[in-house]
Amino acid sequence: MIVCVSVVGHQNNPLYIQSFTDADDALKLHHVVHCSLDVIEERVNNPKTTLNEAFLGLLYPTLNYKVYGYLTNTKVKFILVTTDLDVRDTDVRNFFRKFHAAYVDAVSNPFHVPGKKITSRTFAQTVSNIVGSYGLN
Amino acid sequence: MRFLRRHDDDGDKEAIFALSLAGIPARLFSSDFPSLLFGIRSELGRRIQALSSIKTQPQGVMAGSAPEGTQKKLNQVLEGSKMMEEEYPEELRTPPVSLVALFGCAELHSSITNHLHSQQPPINALAFPDFSHLPLLLLAHRDVINNPTSSSFRDPLSSDSSSSPSAAVPSGGILKRDWLLKHRTKVPALVAAFFPSNHISGDPTQWLQVCSNLDTLKSVIRPKNIKLVVVVVQSSPHEVISEDRLLALRKRAELDSKYVLFLNHSELPLSLPRIASAFSDLALSYYREEARRIKSRIEKRSSTSLDLIVRYCFKVAVYAEFRRDWGEALKFYEDAYHSLHEMIGTSTRLPPIQRLVEIKTIAEQLHFKISTLLLHGGKLSEAVIWFHQHKSSYDKVVGSTEYNFLHWEWMSRQFLVFAELLETSSATVQNFSSLNQGTAEIPLTEFEFYPAYYYQLAAHYLQNKKSALELLLSMSVAAQQIGGSSESITPSVYVGQFSQLREKGEALTLHFITDEEYIRYAISEAKRFQGSFEIVAWLKKSYESFTNLKSRRMAAFCAFEIAREYFGLSDPSNAKFFFDIAANLYRQEGWVSLLWEVLGYLRECSRNLGALKAFVELSLEMVALPVTSCDDFGNLRDKTYGPGGPATVSRRESIHREVFTLMCRETELISSTEESGFKLASDSPLHLEIDLVSPLRPVLLASVAFHEQMIKPRALCSITLSLLSHLPLPVEIDHLEVQFNQSTCNFVVRNSQKPLVASPSSTVQSGSQVENEQSLVLVPNNWLRLTYAIKPEQSGKLECLSVLAKLGPRFTICSRAESPAAMEDSPVWKHENCVQSLPTKDPILAVFGQKATQVEEPEPQVDVSLGASGPALVGENFTMPIVVTSKGHAVHSGELKINLVDVGGGGLFSPREAEPFSLESHHVEICGIDGAEGNDESESETGNIKKIQQSFGLVSVPDLEEGESWSCKLEIKWHRAKPVMLFVSLGYLPQGNEANAQKVHIHKSLQIEGKMPLFITNRFMLPYRRDHLLLNRIKPAPDSEDMSSLPLNEKSVLVVSAKNCTEIALKLMCMSIELDDEQGKTSCLIQQGGGGGETSDSANLAPGEEFKKVFTVIPTMRTPKLSLGSVHMKWRRQGDYTEDACVSTKHKLAEVNVDASPLVMSLNCPPYAILGESFTYAITICNQTQLLQEAKFALADAQSFVLSGSHSNTVSVLPKSEHVLSYKLVPLTCGQQQLPKITLTSVRYSAEFQPSTIASSVFVFPSAPQANSTAK
């Protein structure tokens, strides 16, 4: 189950963070997402690994969560936190593909200020649909 | 030494005795194999270091304010770490080393043991001086294995135990606690018996003694399959032992001949390697056989009990380690681990809780062994994957949910131990990015290779344990009552089991305990070690490690966790230190919700610390945060809030109210409002400074815009002040103070609804402007716009510095003023939820408005005139009168600045034009400034400034009343002809001596042309009708193109002419030639032509007129470059009769070439001729050399003359003699006629020369002139 998705700007500021859990660990998820930025930074700055694709794969396993990352060309990061123990790579890739499309739609809005928080309700709705359909196919 | 001490407690005195007898340094047990070492010492050292860092950090915060119990708690953690150390005894942490026992010949033991230790791999030795100590070896076995009753401990699990309360439980455990130790320190792989050779070949009693010793030895070691070696010690190499005796010895010992060794006292170094290799072979075979024996038991499956299989696998692995067969060791450890895992849920031997504890303890040990072997084999990825599997296979094995703190503690230990293992091995494997990152099933990420990750999780599990324990203690009253004194429960003989020690008279017995008893024990142990300091220590390690890895966010998270732990320990100063670390990062990256939480904690910390200012700042920062409340997105429904509470609008409002009631309450109420925890002195004001980077900027944003970019002095100008606050509730301001860099402009805006409080303020003077406003209320997210007019007094930049808002009797906020044009949002977050509006109504001002403006200077009412304009002449002192006339302003402390600037640019000096004689670097310079007439004395009295440099001058102007004037003369001298710009600027104070008055400046400039007054030329004239063959003329030297040549010792004429090239009439006073120096005086002789006096020189020169003067020059020295000195002239402008006005100008004459001429040709003819009358035209060729000169001559016919004589010929002229060519000529035409032209060619010099045309012409009269008669 996806418990949290997040969009983080190129200055590592949160643009959108949404948790999908009833448990009272939303703040913990914020910490998890924030910490995972370190892994992305390390992976991006490591000269030995070349990034061929936007999908970054598993960032790191925490106690109960697995964190996956995705880096767009504009250095905007998507982060997914799931509680599933075995995650299929293709599912995550699919998720991020859809999520990216939704993000592009949201920031194409002429009233959106780039680099600022995404407040579009349509985006929120689309994201929750994507999260709901995750792992079904 | 610690090793020994521990077993001392167990009562194993024999081993110590043995070891000390043999002289083995105890440290060998911890350093026998350095590369595989996990020394207690280093581990403990690390832990102490980590703990001591708790004490030292944060610097200065803890000092003096450490809670009383800190030291005690630290000691507890240290004890806790010792407990960890006991968790993994030495023998488990280091690889085993083969053990041999030595008997007899004690004098050899030390050298043998030393040699064995230095072997690779080393061998440990137990040394017994003689065979009487044999029972010690024997006892060591029996004591533990065969004869439990003889021990002071009574094993309750032995068959004869009847007192055990749980008799139904099958006896035994999985692993004996001391099995490994026993094999490392007590059970040797072989026994070496040393016999002196004289005992063997000696008398029968000695021989019998040898035999009996051997028999006893055999009887002891045979059952244990311990190998035997007999060493015969010879005193000399030539000593012979009879074959029979040796055979008998071999038979008696039942040994192969290769295991009967000979040792020679004198050849010890040679014998020792032989002995060592034999020992090593035998030890290997002993361990191999033992392993094989046990392996066969596993294969036979004689026992289906998993317990035994685990035990056998463990033993085989240990034997493999003895043999350094790491692969097999790993394999069997893994087998044991897997078999053990199968036991979960199947084993019924012990009560459920203890059973799980035992399994987990053994699993931990096995895991430890496996991880160690993997890591030290360099298999980092495998080790990490192994840990992964270990963690996931035991993650869910919680056991009793009620007592899950046991599980958390165990898990925490797994992470901690792995972290430490990883840390010690990370030195060898640094670069994991090149490693295979996990497998397809278990992908590994970067952080799983960092010890920091495991430290962090260890701390996390310990937190779980702590909270689980707290929950348990709060739930059950019984648990609370468990005291610190546990009922003498100790670890039993089996690993992971506990039993009760009961005293029965003299004997101590071990008894089984029930789960309840065990839990009581575990709770009491857990109560002793609360774990907070361990959590902090591990998190701190993690924090430091992440900081070193530049993982700032991970580090910040760790800091946050540390701080929370400190917060829980009621240590606000330490908590604050770490919260601040986290808050800084969250602030920087705009993680508002995280920041809110941290700030909430920090607020409480500062409240507990009594730091009012920090408390107010943090509270204001919190309330001004753009936290999207939980209602909008459903985020942050976290029920476990920090002390900041939920980030909702209502919570922000309540914090806001709390702060403002705290700060704005009336003075008399203070004593009654102590509940917030602050004790304030009633007159302690709180002043907050907000600058552009302050996190408090959203609290009060002050934008200031001047309406004009340039304003007149003393004229009103408009300024708009816009204030914005993101506080959730409206704020009423008592008064505002606007501060400028010109403090006279500062003004106050007063809220007329508030009572007038006489508040002394340092920044606003008493007489300053005061504005009144009906209301000064800052409505959230709305600009409060105020426009006022101010009247600047001074010219220059006028900038608004800050706006100070007084919000209560003692609460002021000072916000740095910002220009609307330069105003920027916070870089990472915006107040998204509110409407963006402009700070001013005028959109142009909102976009381009500036907080600073320029105040113009007042109009100068003083005139500065520059009196002269005409061209200046080079060399003279050009006088420039400057007149300062007051026309309305009085002049006070005036200063006249004078600047000369080259019009052509590039300064007044250009190196390219530099000439050797012009030593002055400036071509134009100010020579002096004459003050106003008669004012010299006063100037010197007042010490006025009068600085003159070559192109800069500074003159002070005396004070002038209105209508007065002052003048001075500026003298400028040109060294070169060039135009120059003269800048004169006068700065003065119109109003007397006011300290803060501003100067008014007037600027004037004038371009002045500098001109050469006289153009001087010179030419030489050689003696008339005497032509010299000057070789230089024929073959000129390359650099002397234009150089004139003069013959040596001949009188030449020099004509110097000076032309007035200005438009001004000049008077030339005198002209002379001065030779440069002594050499010049000797080398040539110059006389004035004409011989007239000085007066004859003086002449008036109208513009364009020329003056000439003739000199004779006789060079007396032959030189290619003869300096003729320079022409000195004195002149002045016509009509200027002052003495000073006379200017002397120097002009250097060009150098000439002086040459001796070998041939001189002189023409001789009468001064005039008469038509038709013949005259003689003689040409004399004079040879001035010592050589015979051959000269060709050719005479050209002339139309006007009839000529007699040879036209051309070659003549030889003897040295120092002359040859005369004589012609008779009859003129045919009147007037100036050209004589026949002669061309002379010197053969020797192949040079040809002719007399000049003027020299070879003569005037022909028609008849003889009558001049003589008339003259007479």
Give residue-wise pLDDT tens across range B138-193: 555 444 333 333 333 333 333 333 333 333 334 567 777 777 777 777 778 888 88
Kindly write down the DSSP assignment for every residue of B275-343, as one continuous string.
HHHHHHHHHHHHHHHHHHHHHHHHHHT----HHHHHHHHHHHHHHHHHTT-HHHHHHHHHHHHHHHHHH
Assign B514 a pLDDT band (cuts: 50, 70, 90).
Answer: confident
Number of domains in chain A: 1
ipTM rounded to 2 decimals: 0.93
User: How are beta strands B1052-1060 and B1106-1115 bridged, if at all?
Assistant: antiparallel
Interchain contact, A14 vs B448, CB within 8 Å: no
Kindly write down the DSSP assignment for every residue of B101-159, as one continuous string.
EEES-HHHHHHHHHHHHTSSS-EEEEEESSGGGHHHHHHHHIIIII-GGGSSEE-TTST
How much is the pLDDT for B730? 86
Least confident of A116-130, B431-445, B810-824: B431-445
Nearest-by-CA chain B residue for A14: B591
| Most confident listed range (B76-90, B564-578, B1020-1034) | B564-578
Least confident of B165-169, B810-814, B1028-1032: B165-169
Q: Which CATH class is domain B860-903+948-991+999-1004?
A: mainly beta
Q: From the CA of A100, how many Å to the nearest CA of chain B?
A: 20
Q: Which CATH class is domain B686-755+767-855?
A: mainly beta
Q: Contacts of residue B638 in chain A, CB cutoff 8 Å? A: 24-28
What value does the mean pLDDT take over residues B198-223?
79
Q: Which CATH class is domain B96-141+173-296?
A: alpha beta
Angstrom CA distances, B984 to B900, B998, B1005, stand at 9, 19, 6
Q: Which residue has the tokens 């985006």?
A: A123
Interchain contact, A60 vs B635, CB within 8 Å: no
What value does the mean pLDDT take over residues B626-644?
55
Residue B1135, sorted as left (phi over 0), alpha (psi -120 to 50) or beta, turns out to be left
Chain A interface, Cβ < 8 Å to B = 9, 11-14, 17-19, 24-28, 30-31, 34-35, 37-39, 41-43, 46, 48-49, 57-61, 63, 113, 116-117, 119, 124
Chain B stretch 597-636, residues whose beta carbon is closer than 8 A to a beta carbon of chain A:
597, 633, 635-636
Tokens of B137: 């070896």
Q: Contacts of residue A31 in chain B, CB cutoff 8 Å? A: 557, 560, 594
Q: Which segments of B777-855 does DSSP mark as H helices, in order?
A: 843-848
Rounded to whole angstroms, the Cα distance separating B599 from B841 reads 36
Per-residue pLDDT reduced to its tens digit, B723-737:
888 888 888 888 888
How much is the pLDDT for B155? 37
Q: From the CA of A74, how many Å to the nearest CA of chain B?
A: 16
Third-level CATH fold of B1014-1035+1042-1089+1097-1155: Immunoglobulin-like (2.60.40)
Q: Are B707 and B840 in contact (CB under 8 A)?
A: no
Rounded to whole angstroms, the Cα distance separating B810 from B799 reads 27
B448 touches chain A (CB under 8 A): yes
Q: From the CA of A23, how many Å to the nearest CA of chain B?
A: 8
Nearest-by-CA chain A residue for B388: A61
Of B551, B633, B827, nearest to A124 by CB-CB distance is: B633
Per-residue pLDDT reduced to its tens digit, B659-686:
888 777 654 444 444 455 555 444 567 8
Q: Contacts of residue B453 in chain A, CB cutoff 8 Å? A: 60
Rounded to whole angstroms, the Cα distance separating B1037 from B311 reads 115
Nearest-by-CA chain A residue for B646: A27
Q: Contacts of residue A59 in chain B, CB cutoff 8 Å? A: 445
Nearest to B831 by CA among B780, B759, B906: B780
Q: What is the DSSP letter of B224?
A: G
Interchain contact, A38 vs B554, CB within 8 Å: yes
Nearest-by-CA chain B residue for A12: B589
Tokens of B1142: 């006379």
Q: Is the peptide bond before B58 cis (omega within 30 degrees of 0)?
A: yes
Tokens of B1207: 């036209």
Is residue B1211 pLDDT above 80, yes or no?
Answer: yes
Angstrom CA distances, B991 to B942, B959, B961, B996, B1036, stand at 19, 11, 11, 10, 75
Of A13, A18, A24, nearest to B828 by CB-CB distance is: A13
Q: Are B80 and B173 in contact (CB under 8 A)?
A: no
Q: Which residue has the tokens 């002359």?
A: B1218
Q: Contacts of residue B551 in chain A, CB cutoff 8 Å? A: 38, 41-42
Q: Contacts of residue A39 in chain B, CB cutoff 8 Å? A: 445-447
Q: From the CA of A86, how many Å to the nearest CA of chain B?
A: 9
Per-residue pLDDT reduced to its tens digit, B572-610:
888 989 999 899 888 888 888 888 888 888 888 888 888
Q: Are B1167 and B1024 in contact (CB under 8 A)?
A: no
Interchain contact, B594 vs A31, CB within 8 Å: yes
Which of A60, A67, A68, A82 is the best residue to mutate to test the B interface, defined by the most B CB atoms within 10 Å of its own CB? A60
Find the CATH number of the domain harbouring A107: 3.30.450.70
Interchain contact, B640 vs A24, CB within 8 Å: yes
CATH number of B1159-1261: 2.60.40.10
Phi and psi of A122, rounded to 5°? -60, -40
Residue B799's SS3 state is strand
Nearest-by-CA chain A residue for B592: A14
Question: Any idea where the domains of chain B sit in the sequence?
Answer: 96-141+173-296, 486-528, 551-630+640-661, 686-755+767-855, 860-903+948-991+999-1004, 1014-1035+1042-1089+1097-1155, 1159-1261
Q: How many residues does chain A have?
A: 137
B830 touches chain A (CB under 8 A): yes
Phi and psi of B73, rounded to 5°? -65, -40
Angstrom CA distances, B589 to A10, A18, B642, B829, stand at 10, 18, 21, 9
Interchain contact, B433 vs A19, CB within 8 Å: no
How much is the pLDDT for A104? 92
Tokens of B539: 């998190």
Taking the CA atoms of residue B674, residue B677, residue B679 and residue B685 in that order, the dihedral angle to the nearest 10 degrees is -110
Interchain contact, A24 vs B832, CB within 8 Å: no
Query: What range defines the domain where residue A16 resides?
Result: 2-136
Q: From the CA of A19, how many Å to the nearest CA of chain B?
A: 7
Q: From the CA of B192, how many Å to the nearest CA of chain A?
A: 56
Rounded to whole angstroms, the Cα distance separating B1135 from B571 reads 100
Chain centroid to Cα B553, Å, comes to 23
Q: Contacts of residue A119 in chain B, CB cutoff 8 Å? A: 832
How much is the pLDDT for B993? 61
Identical fold for domains B686-755+767-855 and B860-903+948-991+999-1004, yes or no, is yes
Third-level CATH fold of B551-630+640-661: 1.25.40
Handedness of CA B1046, B1047, B1048, B1050 (dihedral sign): negative
What value does the mean pLDDT take over residues B1148-1172?
83
**Percent helix / strand / coil, chain B, rounded to 5:** 35, 25, 35
Nearest-by-CA chain B residue for A22: B637
